[in-house]
Amino acid sequence: MSDIAPRIGGALETTGSVIVGAVRFTIVVMQLTAASVTMRGLSEQVRSTFNYVEDCAQSVDKLADQAAALNVDQSTVNEHREAATVMRTCLEEAEGMATECEEMATLFHETADAHIADYGSVAEAANNMPDGIDMADREFYSNR
């Protein structure tokens, strides 16, 4: 190692390690929270979009009823009814997807809470470490 580039060590290295660990902890919690919010938003968006599809299915059913009342050929009426049925089948799939998104949002939130419960006190202790007291090596805390 060159005399021009001094080796970083001791308190500075320990402080840097503590800061990096605290930043990682915060980033993980923020990412898990953001993922939870995103998945919940996706669930709401899916339901909102498919409420529109349900309205369309109802409109197509009304058109089929009108066509039948006007003695339009049966194949045209049946095509309208099939189209409404396909729309409703998609709605069932979408509801399943929305439910899955909600469950994932809950799991992300629970994971963030568990991470805070497991490592929050360590991160807080590291952030509030008095000057002059060296923290144990990071690997000590990761061996849980």
Distance in angstroms (rounded) separating the CA atoms of residues 135 and 131:
10
Q: pLDDT value at position 17?
A: 56
pLDDT lower than 50: segments of the chain = 1-2, 5-6, 8, 11-12
Please give the biggest Cα pair distance in the chain: 97
CA 43 to chain CA mean position, Å: 10
Tokens, residue 10:
């001791």
Q: How many Cα atoms are found within 13 Å in the side-chain-facing hemisphere of 26?
A: 9
The pTM of this model reads 0.58
